[in-house]
């Protein structure tokens, strides 16, 4: 567990970010989806940029955005990763990856999810992110049945996402999968949209990294 990568998503407030990065998460996620309550805005914030250390990689979350807008946002925000949370095709993912950007492709999982469809994405995505299926794009704040991931036999490493909160430490300790790479946290640690409880984030990250 202490080798798991940790992504804190839905960040926006510079002071809040400053507190969260003290725990040195591996990734910070910024949502570039207009309909999200955590939309950060397309214009980069100098205040935000100033408080993110070089060790923490910046992830841009996009939902069915134009290729041109993604690449422009990656450039002006100096993003390391494009996380695609919509109905993006393998060809779209390939174009993002060919630009030199790491690609996270999110998939919403429920009992009907067909894991075989991931084969088409296996060569054009660096990581998958498995989230809970909801009515609209983006997170639901709810967990899905992690046992469903026993059906994932692919080679692409993945992040576990979907409603993970401080109370899930024990469940995470008991979860295992050969391709499990990291954890994505967001609403389960929020005081309000885009505002994280810094102490809970620090406690969680410390707890994850202290266990083998």
What pLDDT digit, counting tens, does each position of 27-69 carry? Answer: 999 999 999 999 999 999 999 999 999 999 999 999 999 999 9
Residues in the chain, how many? 212
pLDDT, mean of residues 75-79: 97
Residue 34: count other Cβ atoms within 10 Å of its Cβ.
10
What pLDDT digit, counting tens, does each position of 166-175 carry? Answer: 999 989 989 9
Question: Can you list the positions of beta strands (E) in 110-176?
Answer: 127-132, 158-160
pLDDT, mean of residues 177-205: 97
What pLDDT was estimated at residue 137? Answer: 53
Residue 23's nearest CA partner among 182, 198, 196 is 198
Evaluate if residue 212 carries a pLDDT over 50: no
What pLDDT digit, counting tens, does each position of 94-147 carry? Answer: 999 999 999 999 999 999 999 999 999 999 999 999 999 765 555 556 789 999
Catalytic residues: 9, 131
Q: How confident is the model at residue 159 (pLDDT cuts 50, 70, 90)?
A: very high
Please say whether the beta carbons of 169 and 185 come within 8 A: no
All structural domains of the chain, each given as residue ranges with its CATH number in brackets, are 5-209 (3.20.20.70)
């Amino acid at each position: 567990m202490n080798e798991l990568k940790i992504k804190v998503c839905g960040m926006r407030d510079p002071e809040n970010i400053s507190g969260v990065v003290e725990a040195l998460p591996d990734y910070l996620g910024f949502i570039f989806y207009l309909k999200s309550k955590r939309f950060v805005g397309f214009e980069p914030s100098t205040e935000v940029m100033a408080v993110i250390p070089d060790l923490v990689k910046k992830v841009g979350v996009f939902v069915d955005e134009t290729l041109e807008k993604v690449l422009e946002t990656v450039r002006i925000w100096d993003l390391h990763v494009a996380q695609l949370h919509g109905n993006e095709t393998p060809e779209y993912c390939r174009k993002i990856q060919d630009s030199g950007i790491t690609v996270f492709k999110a998939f919403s999982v429920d009992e009907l999810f067909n894991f075989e469809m991931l084969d088409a994405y296996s060569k054009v995505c660096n990581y998958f992110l498995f989230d809970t299926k909801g009515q609209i794009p983006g997170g639901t704040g709810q967990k899905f049945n992690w046992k469903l991931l026993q059906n994932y036999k692919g080679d692409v490493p993945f992040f576990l996402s979907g409603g993970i909160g401080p109370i899930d430490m024990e469940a995470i300790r008991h979860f295992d999968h050969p391709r499990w790479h990291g954890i994505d946290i967001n609403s389960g640690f929020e005081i309000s949209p885009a505002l994280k409880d810094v102490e809970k984030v620090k406690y969680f990250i410390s707890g994850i990294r202290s266990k083998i």
